[in-house]
Amino acid sequence: MEERRLGPVVGLGTWNTFGGDAANAAQVVGAAIEAGTRVFDSSPMYGGAEASLGAALRERRDGTTVATKIWTQSVDEGREQYRRQVEWFGRVEIEQVHNLVAWREQLAWLEDERAEGRIDRLGVTHYAARAFGELAEALRTRRFDVVQVPYNPHEREVERELLPLAAELGIAVIVMRPLAEGALVRRSPPADALRELGVATWAQALLKWALSDERVDLVIPATSRPERTAENAEAGSPPWFGPDERRYVEELAA
Ligand SMILES: NC(=O)c1ccc[n+]([C@@H]2O[C@H](COP(=O)([O-])OP(=O)(O)OC[C@H]3O[C@@H](n4cnc5c(N)ncnc54)[C@H](OP(=O)(O)O)[C@@H]3O)[C@@H](O)[C@H]2O)c1
């Protein structure tokens, strides 16, 4: 798989898929690592997902990257979330402020953790276009290394300001919702169209669509099915789509 600034370009999300069933989560993580995936995204917002991910990674943590989040208005509770994460994961490589919640307050102590070398990169996330102005403001402080945003053929607002800004400031980009929470993969275009794009499945076409934008470092599709991790990871190798192929994917997704 191709590697960019955050590692192999197809990671794994855990929202909605890792909360309930820790045994299944362990199977998904095992299959994902087998397929070359190394970056795992989670959050205190995702129910028991962090605990399941921690347990799943315990025996295979070497060479993996945990990207999780702080999600609370309170600095004390933020520190407590981080303390629990260190218990689950040993350390956190990428710590993100979830949905911009109290980002200035959380950033102050997170920067100390980064300065001490306990966290490698600080990030900030938001899922909604209405918050992208504030997200841009946060990036302009130059205090974040990573930004996480939605990007798929149905959600392209980040092309206007955030992707150019991230590129200008040298900030790495994580793409959430690359399959539009599964909405884009409920039906697939005909096999002929996929063949023309050089992919085996429609999910791969959508992941390649995002990764073919060179400003993107990582996509984090979530799945509860171990076998889909290999399918998704296969989308992480060149050749990438040019403008015509990307437009074709957009037409197929319309
Ligand atoms: N949604 C948000 O607002 C949000 C916000 C912040 C962060 N994130 C992060 O971003 C990650 C990804 O976003 P997401 O989970 O919302 O949506 P997503 O990754 O776009 O879509 C996940 C859905 O796609 C299905 N899927 C995965 N691979 C597939 C394949 N090869 N073929 C067919 N279906 C496939 C999964 O179903 P199966 O389980 O049946 O495979 C799941 O229902 C999250 O897990 C989380 O870590 C999301």
Q: 21 falls in which pLDDT band (50, 70, 90)?
A: confident
The number of angstroms, rounded, from the C-alpha of 235 to the middle of its chain's C-alpha atoms is 15
pLDDT digits (tens, 9 = 90+) for 32-58: 999 999 999 999 999 999 999 999 999
The predicted pLDDT at position 19 comes to 79
- Write out the DSSP string of the chain: --EETTEESB-BB-TTTSSS-HHHHHHHHHHHHHTT--EEE--TTSTTHHHHHHHHHGGG-TT-EEEEEE--S-HHHHHHHHHHHHHHHSSEEEEEEGGGTTHHHHHHHHHHHHHTTSEEEEEEE---GGGHHHHHHHHHTT--SEEEEE-BTTB-GGGTTHHHHHHHHT-EEEEE-TTGGGGGGSS---HHHHHHHT-SSHHHHHHHHHHTSTT--EE--B-S-HHHHHHHHGGGSSPPP-HHHHHHHHHHH-
Residue list, ligand 1 pocket, CB within 6 Å: 13-17, 41, 125, 127, 176-182, 185, 203, 220-225, 228, 231-232
Name which residue sits closest to atom 41 of ligand 1, judged by CA.
223
Average pLDDT over residues 193-200: 98
In which region does residue 63 sit, left (phi positive, over 0), alpha (psi from -120 to 50) or beta (all else)?
left
Question: CA geometry: angle at 66 spanning 53 and 20, to 5°?
Answer: 20
The predicted pLDDT at position 206 comes to 98
Average of per-residue pLDDT values in the chain: 97
pLDDT digits (tens, 9 = 90+) for 150-189: 999 999 999 999 999 999 999 999 999 999 999 999 999 9
Name which residue sits closest to atom 24 of ligand 1, judged by CA.
182
Average pLDDT over residues 222-231: 97
Query: If you measure from the C-alpha of residue 168 to the centroid of ligand 1, how many angstroms do you get, rounded to a whole number?
Result: 28
Average pLDDT over residues 125-142: 98
Name which residue sits closest to atom 33 of ligand 1, judged by CA.
185
Average pLDDT over residues 137-147: 98
Report the amino acid identity of residue 236.
G
Q: 125 falls in which pLDDT band (50, 70, 90)?
A: very high
The predicted pLDDT at position 102 comes to 98
**Tokens 């999910």 belong to which residue?**
203
Q: Is residue 111 over pLDDT 80?
A: yes
pLDDT digits (tens, 9 = 90+) for 62-103: 999 999 999 999 999 999 999 999 999 999 999 999 999 999
Portion of the chain with pLDDT greater than 90, in percent: 97
Name which residue sits closest to atom 11 of ligand 1, judged by CA.
13
> How many alpha carbons lie under 13 Å from residue 27 in its C-beta half-sphere?
10
Distance CA 203, CA 185 (A): 6
Which residues does 214 contact at the CB level (< 8 Å), separation at least 6?
Answer: none
Burial class (CB in 10 A: 0-12, 13-18, 19+), 24: middle
**Tokens 């990257």 belong to which residue?**
65
- Ligand 1 binding pocket mutation candidate from 66, 124, 176, 231 (most atoms within 8 A of CB): 176
- Ligand 1 binding pocket mutation candidate from 18, 70, 149, 185 (most atoms within 8 A of CB): 185
- To the question of pTM greater than 0.75 for the whole model, the response is yes
Q: 240 falls in which pLDDT band (50, 70, 90)?
A: very high
Query: If you measure from the C-alpha of residue 193 to the centroid of ligand 1, how many angstroms do you get, rounded to a whole number?
Result: 23
